[in-house]
Structure 1
Amino acid sequence: AEAHRLPQLNAVTVPDGVDEAAVRATLLEEFDLEIGAGLGPMAGRIWRIGLMGHSARPENVQLCLEALDAVLGGTGAAWTAAEALLAGH
C-alpha cells in the first residue's frame, strides 16, 4: 500500500524454495554485498535492497543483479538477471 512505501528500499520477493538467509550469507561472503532480510510478517519472504547513495550507482546495481544471478542460479530458482540488466542500459 502507498502508506507503507519506503522509496529508499526495494523489496524483492524471494523465489519459492530458496533459503533466503543462505543467499544473503553467500552474497556477503563471495561478493561483499549485503542485502537486508524481510521484517515482521515479511521475514523470510522478501529481501530489502537499498537504493540510496553509493548503492544506487549503475555499476553497483549491476553488481547486485549479477551476484543475485550467480547465487540464485545454483538454487534451481526460476530467475535470470538478464532482463533487469538489459533494462538498466
Structure 2
Amino acid sequence: MRRSPRRLRWYAAAAAASCAALTGCLFLDNEWHPCDTTCTGTCMACEETKTGEPDGTCAPVTANTDPDDECEVGDCGGDGACEAPSDSP
C-alpha cells in the first residue's frame, strides 16, 4: 500500500510529538527512535554524536560542548548541567 505525501507528513508529525512527549527522541535513518529513559533535561541527549554513548541511550552531553545551545553562558559540563566558563588569569 502506498501512502500519500500528506498522510506521511501527518504520521511523521504525530510520531515525533508522541515520542518527544514520552521520552525524548532520536531521528535516525528516517525514523523516530525513543530514548531508553526520559531524556528531556538540560544538557542531556540520546544521540551518540552529542554524548559519545550509543544512539538511544540517554546520557549527559559531552563536556565543553553545547550542541543544542541550551546554556546561556558557557557549555555543558558533562554532568547534565550547564557550566559557567572559568576565568583564565
Pick the structure with more helix per residue. 1
Q: Per chain length, whose mean CA-contact separation is higher, i.e. which structure has more relative contact order (CA < 8 Å, sep 6+)?
A: 1
Higher Cα Rg, which structure: 2
TM-score (structure 2 length as normaliser):
0.28
Q: TM-score, normalised by structure 1?
A: 0.28
Name whichever structure is richer in strand by fraction: 2
